[in-house]
Amino acid sequence: MQKLGAASYGQSQHPNLGRVVHDIKGGGFLALSIYLQLLEFGLYGEDDFSRLFFLTRDHRKIMRNAVQQIDPAGEIRDSQEIEHNVSLLAEKWYDALHQVRDGTVAARIHLDCRYTGSISESCLEFAALDRVLYNLINNSAQHTADGQVYFAIFPPDEDTVPPADLRFVVYNRSTPEHLRLLAQRYDETMGELFLGGFTTGGTGHGLRICAEFVTNAYGLQSVEQAIAERYCGAARIDEFFVNWIHWPTSDR
2-248 classified as CATH 2.60.40.10? no
Beta-carbon count within 10 A of 210 CB = 28
* pLDDT-based confidence at residue 16 (cuts at 50, 70, 90): low
User: What's the average model confidence in pLDDT over 113-133?
Assistant: 89
* Under 8 Å between Cβ of 240 and 172: yes
Q: What is the pLDDT of residue 7?
A: 47
Q: What is the pLDDT of residue 23?
A: 56
Nearest to 251 by CA among 146, 157, 117: 117
Q: Which residue has the higher pLDDT, 198 or 118?
A: 118
* pLDDT-based confidence at residue 161 (cuts at 50, 70, 90): confident
| DSSP string of 82-120, one letter each residue | EEEETHHHHHHHTT-EEEEGGGTEEEEEEEEE---SEEE
Does this model's pTM top 0.75? My answer is: yes
User: What's the average model confidence in pLDDT over 61-80?
Assistant: 74
CA distance 71 to 63: 9
Nearest to 59 by CA among 71, 41, 48: 71
Q: What is the pLDDT of residue 230?
A: 95
**37 residue type, one letter:** Q
Q: What is the pLDDT of residue 184?
A: 86
Whether the predicted pLDDT of 82 surpasses 90: no
Q: What is the pLDDT of residue 141?
A: 93
- Chain centroid to Cα 165, Å, comes to 17
> Phi-psi region for residue 204, left (φ > 0), alpha (ψ -120 to 50) or beta?
left
List pLDDT tens digits, range 167-225: 999 999 999 998 998 888 887 788 889 987 655 555 556 688 899 889 989 999 999 99
Q: What is the pLDDT of residue 52?
A: 75
User: Is residue 76 packed enough to be buried (19+ CB in 10 Å), middle (13-18) or exposed (0-12)?
Assistant: exposed
* Under 8 Å between Cβ of 107 and 144: yes
Q: What is the pLDDT of residue 198?
A: 59
Q: Which H helix or E strand runs over 246?
A: strand 240-248
Q: Where are the domains of the chain?
A: 2-248
User: What's the average model confidence in pLDDT over 46-70?
Assistant: 73
User: What's the average model confidence in pLDDT over 11-25?
Assistant: 56
Q: Kindly state the percentage of the chain with pLDDT values over 70.
A: 76
Whether the predicted pLDDT of 4 surpasses 80: no
* Under 8 Å between Cβ of 27 and 19: no
